[in-house]
Amino acid sequence: MSGGVDSSTVAAMLRADGHEVIGLTMQLWNQRRLAGHTGMPEAVHGRCCSLDDVYDARRVAEALGIPYYVVNHEERFERDVVRPFVEEYLSGRTPIPCSLCNNHLKFDQLLIVARQIGAEGLATGHYARVGLDEVSGRWLLKRAADLSKDQTYFLFGLTQEQLSRTLFPLGEMTKQEVRELARHHGLALAEKPDSQEICFVPGGDYKNFLDAYLSEQGNTLPDAAGELVTTGGQVIGEHKGIHNFTVGQRKGLGVATGSPLYVIQIDGEKGQVVVGHQDELYSASLRAHRVNLISIDKLLEPMRVTVKIRHRHEPAAARIEQAGPEEIVARFDTPQRAITPGQAAVFYDNDTVVGGGWIA
């Protein structure tokens, strides 16, 4: 129970259906921890995992008459989500902390807690669908009926065992239907707006967060100044740190030319930011590593799929094939714009998630 309308509605639905429901909230990050550092607010309100959300979740549990517990995983969250987030940016990649959190905490640690308290399964407010394929015997992860709310892009790391014990009761519903159901159950937070930000980065300003976090740790941002170079290798300027850039970025490059320039590549080893024209942003292939397969056990031969390279990206037609242990190459029918290392590549067979991995 995150304290939002989605997970609260799930608890109410399951309770109304006669299930024995226990509410669990994960305490992941102290929102006041970096208060006082430059760019960090004194207090944070209306965010995923804030104290306000814990209060809202507890209030819903009381209204439903179900037991409720807060499980503290701050140490693990910092180790498995926050520190990799910082390291990825400093190395020139663009991370997705929500996927790391799902893989390492929400569907790992919460299932452990569920076993400890005798629960048969874990239900969440994610917009996705799960079911057993009777032919293959594998659990399948499928896109939500409401594609505008689909969250399977962030769930590609789920294992067969995790899927077998997970329920996504909102998978067939629209957001409007969820809010209407919340009103029907008398939930006080039926109109609560969705949280859109990374839970531990106030205002979405990751640069201020990096400064504040490293300062708290007794460190400073490493001197990552380097060269701005064209795709042809010509040095056209300097930059103050590769963490300030992401592939596809146009503004804030610090150079003026006759035509717009975009970040094409970030070379962490050389400390270079490679810039070029918009048509140079397009790539015909990508390599994904640390791949997790869901609908199939092994990729024995090339397979036709569609691939999402960002959460809001329309899946693009491609052919995937195994390139090594836990490594897959995707070759697109049409080159895709701004394929970004550190983001996820998720493979779909129609609405079924074949699997996914991290763009290398």
- Enumerate the active-site residues: 101, 199
| Helices and strands (H and E) in the chain: how many | 9, 16
Q: Decide the pairing of beta strands 316-324 and 327-337.
A: antiparallel
Stated as kind and residue range, the H or E segment containing 293 is strand 282-293
Closest by alpha carbon to 81, among 258, 216, 209, 262? Answer: 209
DSSP 223: -
- What contacts 62, CB < 8 A, 6 or more positions away? 68
Separation of alpha carbons 56 and 195, rounded Å: 14
The answer to whether 13 and 62 are in contact (CB under 8 A) is: no
| HSE toward the beta carbon, residue 352, CA cutoff 13 A | 14
Return the axis-axis angle of helices 5-16 and 175-184, rounded to nearest 10°: 60
Separation of alpha carbons 296 and 140, rounded Å: 9
| Cα–Cα separations (whole angstroms), residue 246 to 165, 274, 300, 310 | 37, 11, 34, 13
Instruction: Name the H helices within the chain.
Output: 5-16, 51-64, 74-77, 83-90, 97-101, 109-116, 160-164, 175-184, 206-216
